[in-house]
């Protein structure tokens, strides 16, 4: 420092600012990661250098990436899960900016009152990262393609999923809120259709199965016109077990759809094919038969512990 009456008044080098962080923030109004599709290279701002008169440099501006609830951040190289966003407004520093350096004022001593060196700042972190979304819903809707899952979702919620008469109409999870009695509600997810071999990646494979891990209750939808109700259900259970055996510890409900084409004798025959330890009921998304009973049963399974 140089003053009017003292040309060597001591060190006056300020500290440098840190580099900007990469921050993940939960946003309950987002449902997919599609807004990040072209957001490939993310570079936060450098911190400013310290200045004379002991002026500290400005920190680099943080970059905040907003993601839907249920997002998991993974290091691509190590495949380690680093961050999990579960709450609205939750902020986690994902990648830290480099620490700012120290100005020469920090190195002044009684014997060296005017040091001519400073500590340089550190480089920031960098790496290839992956964001993966696992849907957060109370109920997961499981079934083969064309089982009628999207039709059911549109019947009991305000969601408007794409509905058509071909396999894999639903390519991404669709969420809807089911209005229950006395103003209560719960969230149901129409998940992409499962096929035999999904655990090995056939069809939509793991893109479908990973979402099931977050649903406490799974609703299996079996169409009444299925050629083999028992076989279809066995395939669904087998794919869950192949992917993650812990999924078999969840609560299950079986709904037989399109029941308006069945008489009592056919209903009894189908019931005899279904597991005795899993509750089941017959519904029709078009005529509304059994939908209120289905809501009651789902609410009971969601609220009863064990």
**How would residue 193 be classed by pLDDT, with cut points 50, 70 and 90?**
low
Give the angle subtended at the CA of 111 by the CAs of 110 and 112, to the nearest 5°.
95
Q: Per-residue pLDDT for 150 more than 60? A: yes
Q: Per-residue pLDDT for 169 more than 80? A: no
Domains and CATH numbers, the chain: 1-133 (2.70.210.12), 139-303 (3.40.50.300)
Task: Render pLDDT for 39-98 as a digit per residue (tens, 0 to 9).
Answer: 788 888 888 887 777 787 888 899 999 988 888 899 888 888 888 898 889 999 998 888
Give the angle subtended at the CA of 68 by the CAs of 62 and 74, to the nearest 5°.
70
The helix (H) or strand (E) run that includes residue 148 is none
CA dist 227 → 15, 21, 125, 151, 301 (Å): 74, 56, 56, 20, 29
Residues 128-151: what's their mean pLDDT? 81
* DSSP symbol at 183: G
Q: With 0.85 as the threshold, say if the pTM is over it.
A: no
Q: Per-residue pLDDT for 253 more than 90? A: yes
The whole-angstrom separation of Cα 246 and Cα 122 is 44
């Amino acid at each position: 420092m140089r003053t009017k009456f003292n040309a060597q008044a001591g060190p006056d080098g300020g500290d440098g600012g840190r580099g900007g962080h990469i921050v993940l923030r939960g946003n309950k109004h987002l449902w997919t990661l599609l807004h990040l599709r072209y957001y490939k290279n993310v570079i936060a701002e450098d911190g400013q250098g310290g200045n004379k008169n002991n002026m500290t440099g400005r920190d680099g501006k943080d970059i905040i990436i907003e993601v839907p609830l249920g997002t998991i951040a993974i290091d691509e190289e190590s495949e380690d899960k680093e961050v999990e966003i579960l709450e609205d407004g939750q902020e986690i520093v994902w990648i830290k900016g480099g620490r700012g350096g120290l100005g020469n004022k920090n190195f002044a001593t009684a014997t060296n009152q005017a040091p001519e060196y400073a500590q340089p700042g550190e480089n920031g972190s960098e790496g290839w990262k992956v964001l993966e979304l696992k849907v957060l819903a109370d109920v997961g809707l499981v079934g083969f393609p064309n089982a009628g899952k999207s039709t059911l979702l549109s019947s009991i919620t305000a969601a408007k999923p794409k509905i058509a008469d071909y396999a894999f109409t639903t390519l991404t999870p669709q969420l809807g809120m089911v209005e229950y009695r006395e103003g209560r509600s719960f969230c149901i997810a129409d998940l992409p259709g499962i096929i035999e071999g999904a655990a090995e990646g056939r069809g939509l494979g793991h893109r479908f199965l990973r979402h099931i891990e977050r649903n406490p209750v799974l609703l299996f939808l079996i169409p009444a016109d299925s050629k083999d109700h028992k076989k279809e259900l066995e395939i669904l259970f087998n794919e869950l077990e192949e992917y993650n055996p812990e999924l078999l510890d969840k609560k299950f409900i079986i709904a037989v759809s399109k029941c308006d084409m069945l008489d009592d004798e056919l209903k009894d025959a189908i019931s005899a094919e279904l597991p005795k330890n899993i509750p089941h009921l017959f519904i029709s998304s078009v005529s509304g038969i059994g939908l209120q009973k289905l809501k009651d049963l789902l609410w009971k399974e969601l609220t009863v512990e064990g």
